Amino acid sequence: MILISTAEATYWNLYMAQEQMLFFKESVAVAESIRNDNQTKLKAGRGSELEVMESESGLALRKSKQADAREKFFEAMSRLTALYGQSGSNRMVVAVDTPQVNDVPVSYYDSFLAATTLNPDYLGQLKKIASENVRVAYARNQRLPQLDLKASYGLNGLGRDHDEALKDLERRDFPSWSVGLELHIPLTGGIKTRSELDAAKLRQKQALVGLKEIETQVGSAIDVAERKIRAAQESVRSYETVVKYNQNLLEAQMARLQVGRVESRKVLEVDADLFEAKNSLLDAQVQFRRALLELELIEGTLLKTRNLDLTQRELESKTAMLVRKGTITDQQYADFIRQLQWQYQQKAELDTATTERARRILRESEQKVSPTPPNFK
């Protein structure tokens, strides 16, 4: 889950750097157009050198930021290509998918319930509690008196020499057997076993406290992730309005600039505002996808939602098959993903029993520690 979430987050970082580079390209084109118009007006005697200098300054600033954006793009692309072992390659990688922002229904209770069923840390702590319960039961049994049933059976050879003794054994003339009970009672009251029981109970309490700590951490992380999702959704709606307004304003200001009714400095300011609005909208869209990844990672549903919840051995065999083939085409990769998803669907029915077992362990642990999620206001 961490590997896939890292890959997807790296992809969205590439998309963000790619779009920012395109934004600066558009901004540089606007600044160049204004600079050329001012130079033409100056030659015709209808402009001033100050306007030319302002437009050249705005153009130089945008080109400088465009160069920085280009470096960030190649840096993000290098991080992405390093994930599939082609670091340093001259191949250009371009993000095609866009971060879709939709009204995702988020429910704290549903997310917490999913986390208590699929979150690896939570399930691991439940297993630890079950193990400590066994240790406590074992330590408690060690304090009881120990009664053992012992029995033995043997054959004796009573001959005067070795050969006669062997013949007695073969004839089984002199068997010997014994049956008895052996009782062990600690004379000192079982100080050692009592101390071991106390230590086992303390470890059991420690495991229960650890479960509550994980519940608190999971609940807090879910609340934060869902707040990020809602905030990103609201930001996207707001910035879409701002981008549309600034886009229309820039077109109007460019038209006014053509007829000399506005200064070029005002147009450059509107262009800068449009860039900031576009960048803020882009950031909100990417943050939305990152928040979804964060929520799925906390819930433990990231592999399940992508039909990739397979065992390590299954993934190992599939990966080895791809390695033996050498190069991997796009069609081979698509077939590989489809096969994995088909295996997951076949495996889903078998996983139902495991899920029910996890729920049963959770219900048993509720007798000592209630997993009710904390309330957040």
H, E, C per residue of 56-88: HHHHHHHHHHHHHHHHHHHHHHHHHHHCCCCCC
- pLDDT tens digit sequence for 215-242: 999 999 999 999 999 999 999 999 999 9
Per-residue pLDDT, 348: 63
Give the chain's radius of gyration (CA, Å). 37
Per-residue pLDDT, 330: 67
pTM of the model: 0.69
Per-residue pLDDT, 367: 53
Per-residue pLDDT, 327: 63
Report which of 172, 110, 119, 112 is spatially closest to residue 1, judged by C-alpha positions: 119
Kindly give the parts of the chain with pLDDT less than 70: 87-89, 188-189, 325-330, 344-377
DSSP string computed for 273-297: HHHHHHHHHHHHHHHHHHHHHHHHH
Per-residue pLDDT, 369: 42
Distance CA 344, CA 308 (A): 6
- Residue spans per domain, the chain: 1-98, 99-137+189-377, 146-184
DSSP string computed for 12-45: HHHHHHHHHHHHHHHHHHHHHHHHHHHHHHHHTT
Structure tokens at 121: 């840390």
